Amino acid sequence: MKKILLLSCFLVLYTTFSFGNQTEEQLKKSGYSSVLGALEESKEKNVRFRSIYPDNTEKTREADKLYGSDYVIKDIADVKDMYKDRVIMYYPGVIGNSMMGLTGLTNTIRADSLKKGSYAIGGKYVYSKIQRKNGDDIDFADGEKAEVSSFYVTAAMGVTNNFEIGYSLPVHSFQIKQADLYPYDMDDSGVGDVALRAKFSFPFGNEGGYAGLGFGVKLPSGNDEKMSPAGVTGEPDIEIIGMASSKFGLINGHVNLIYAFTGNSDTPGTPFTYNDNKFTFNVGLDYSKSDFVTLMLEINAEDWGAYGNRADFVPGVRGRIADKLNGEIAFPITIHNSQYYGYKFKMIMGLSYQF
């Protein structure tokens, strides 16, 4: 795991990209009155740009005040037929909801926020085949299986340009038929715990960096006796979320530290001990060469005390299906898993709509 973390950090620091610059006269021919006019027109579209001018002119400094010196103008001659001489936006690529409701990658939360009045709603389907128990491989007999499917309804809204709220509602379905697992014979489904979260974003530096502070509460909406295998505790949880995002060319790096106070609750007669607090660490990279496709790479780790811990390596891709509709797919691969329901591989598919 340490080697993967070091490699990811190296890739972020090492990879940079540069683009040709475009003069204001060319922009005027495209229908914009000025460079600043072009920037202002796109200001409310969650768009970032990278350097228009190579020199430190007054107009560049004024643009920096709007966007933190991270805007890109591509040579109009290369794309005029496809984009009708418009400014080409490269960052932040394709935005969508994370599993926690707030905008981000598949699991990692972005430190920046949706602009005021913007919304992102979505749904994610998660399938996992249980193959381990408390860190040991399960020996399945003929006819036995252990599978969990979940569907998450997510939503996020930009309350202000630097304040975003999010919502997540999971529905879980279990098919457990294995003598060593609890419950050993279960074919059931139900609603999990609703979560409400919020993040405050604070821009820093001149390269599009953001720090963020978030808070969350998980409400005991699920039936803890029936849905306890999905982490339903029957008690509210309180979360404190620290996050940071920074831009390196076309790559954006994100880090999350999440501490959840999970209360003092477990379901009598079951092996699911949720009395301990939970610590989550996420690091993610996203890469966008255009605003149609974003490649994502994450490492998600969780330590839940007596319930066990896990670490996943998560490659994924998010693409634009229609004007405001995005689709994504990701494949969490287990680095380590000592939890009661341990998987080696997951599949996550999702859709999100931004407006």
The string of pLDDT tens digits covering residues 183-225 is 888 888 889 899 999 999 988 765 568 899 999 999 988 887 7
Identify whether 112 is part of a domain: no
Identify whether 226 is part of a domain: yes
**Together in a domain, 215 and 148:** yes
Domain end: 30, 56, 83, which one? 83
Residues 6 or more apart whose CB falls under 8 angstroms from that of 48 comprise 67, 68, 70, 71, 89, 90, 91, 92, 208, 247
**Together in a domain, 148 and 53:** no
**Together in a domain, 129 and 14:** no
Tell me the two tokens of residue 300. 């998600």
Q: How many domains does the chain have?
A: 2
Residues 6 or more apart whose CB falls under 8 angstroms from that of 81 comprise none
CA pair distance 277, 304, nearest whole angstrom: 6
Identify whether 219 is part of a domain: yes
**Together in a domain, 298 and 168:** yes
Give the residue with greater pLDDT, 127 vs 19. 127
Cβ(339)–Cβ(309) below 8 Å: yes
- The pLDDT assigned to 208 comes to 63
Residue 68 structural domain: 2-83
Tell me the two tokens of residue 57. 């002119």
CA atoms within 13 A on the CB side of 109: 34
Lowest mean pLDDT among 27-41, 171-185, 193-207, 264-278: 27-41
Residues 6 or more apart whose CB falls under 8 angstroms from that of 42 comprise 49, 87, 89
**Together in a domain, 79 and 125:** no
Confidence of residue 100 (pLDDT cuts 50, 70, 90): very high
Q: What are phi and psi of 81, to 5 degrees?
A: -70, -40
Identify whether 263 is part of a domain: yes
Cβ(151)–Cβ(128) below 8 Å: no
Model pTM score:
0.75
**Together in a domain, 331 and 213:** yes
Cβ(332)–Cβ(310) below 8 Å: no
Identify whether 255 is part of a domain: yes
CA pair distance 88, 90, nearest whole angstrom: 7
Calculate mean pLDDT across residues 335-340: 92
Give the residue with greater pLDDT, 61 vs 134. 134
Domain end: 83, 107, 140, which one? 83
Q: What are phi and psi of 248, to 5 degrees?
A: -130, 90
CB atoms within 10 A of CB 65: 9
**Together in a domain, 208 and 277:** yes
> Could you tell me which residues are beta bridge partners of residue 350?
124, 328
Give the residue with greater pLDDT, 42 vs 339. 339
**Together in a domain, 244 and 141:** yes
